[in-house]
A and B are shown apart, each in its own frame.
Chain A
Amino acid sequence: TQLLEQSPQFLSIQEGENLTVYCNSSSVFSSLQWYRQEPGEGPVLLVTVVTGGEVKKLKRLTFQFGDARKDSSLHITAAQPGDTGLYLCAGGGRRTTGTYKYIFGTGTRLKVLA
């Protein structure tokens, strides 16, 4: 089964700092989604990237899909305590049997200190 590796696994930063989270795979994805999950809640869909090289912005969050559609990044500018949470990338992958499976990345836990 295809894998999505995220880095870093954990990030603790001060309010106002910038950060980048990476989501990498050796496989090509038709699209990748990014979710944010706050403690005790379900993941919330932030964005979908579809085209290689695509860049999408959501306020202070910038998402990029790699040219080869094997990786993606999330950049947060001037992080705020409200950005704290678990960030997950996800995409449709293929099982060893050939059928598809929706795969979540390993996750990046972000903590923004006031």
Chain B
Amino acid sequence: DTEVTQTPKHLVMGMTNKKSLKCEQHMGHRAMYWYKQKAKKPPELMFVYSYEKLSINESVPSRFSPECPNSSLLNLHLHALQPEDSALYLCASSQEEGQHLSSYEQYFGPGTRLTVT
């Protein structure tokens, strides 16, 4: 099973709302990632979790708050977003994190299309 699932598929939220994006994988991968992708651009890394601990935060604004409740789940909590945060949010996983092949082969979920009004 090489599937990464994400919910919801689409989300529309106001700038004062609080919402959460969810990601799940059952491949036994120990690294999980959040990416942001704007239209016609490659994915941009936001956060990396390794063994359920935050490993990398790419200077993401605090209105985005990641959480890794267990090795299979990854959440992204959203609060007080701006219209420019509208994008496709992708979750990915890999066997490990670090400088080896098993970390480079990433498996992506279908993404959550977020619109901030």
Q: Report which A residues bind B (CB closer than 8 A).
A: 30-31, 33, 35, 40-45, 48, 50, 86, 88, 90-92, 100-102, 104-107, 109
| Complexed CA–CA distance, A82 and B43 (Å) | 22
Q: Report which B residues bind A (CB closer than 8 A).
A: 4, 6, 40-43, 45, 88, 90-92, 98-101, 103-111, 113
Residues in chain B near residue A48, CB distance under 8 A: 101, 104-105
| B6 CB, min distance to chain A CBs, angstroms | 8
Q: Which of A31, A86, A101 interacts with B45 by CB under 8 Å?
A: A101
A-B contacts, 6 of them at CB < 8 A, read: A30-B100, A33-B104, A43-B43, A48-B101, A92-B104, A102-B106
Instruction: Enumerate the 8 nearest inter-chain pairs by beta-carbon distance, A residue then B residue, closest first.
Output: A42-B108, A104-B42, A100-B99, A43-B108, A42-B111, A107-B42, A92-B104, A42-B90
Q: Which of A40, A88, A90, A91 interacts with B111 by CB under 8 Å?
A: A40
| Complexed CA–CA distance, A106 and B104 (Å) | 17
Question: Beyond A40-B111, A40-B113, A45-B106, is A31–B42 a contact (Cβ under 8 Å)?
Answer: no
Q: Flag if B105 contacts A104 (CB, 8 Å).
A: no
12 further contact pairs, Cβ within 8 A, besides A33-B104, A35-B108: A30-B100, A33-B105, A41-B110, A42-B4, A42-B91, A42-B111, A45-B108, A88-B43, A102-B45, A102-B103, A102-B104, A109-B40
Question: Beyond A104-B43, A107-B41, A107-B42, is A41–B111 a contact (Cβ under 8 Å)?
Answer: yes
Q: Flag if B101 contacts A50 (CB, 8 Å).
A: yes
Question: Beyond A30-B101, A33-B104, A90-B104, is A42–B42 a contact (Cβ under 8 Å)?
Answer: no
| Complexed CA–CA distance, A84 and B76 (Å) | 30
Q: Flag if A31 contacts B40 (CB, 8 Å).
A: no
Q: Which of A33, A44, A105 interacts with B42 by CB under 8 Å?
A: A105
| A63 CB, min distance to chain B CBs, angstroms | 14
| A2 CB, min distance to chain B CBs, angstroms | 13
Q: Flag if B108 contacts A44 (CB, 8 Å).
A: yes
| Complexed CA–CA distance, A91 and B101 (Å) | 9
Question: Beyond A105-B42, A107-B41, is A91–B110 a contact (Cβ under 8 Å)?
Answer: no
Q: Which of B42, B43, B103, B111 interacts with A92 by CB under 8 Å?
A: B103
| Complexed CA–CA distance, A102 and B106 (Å) | 10
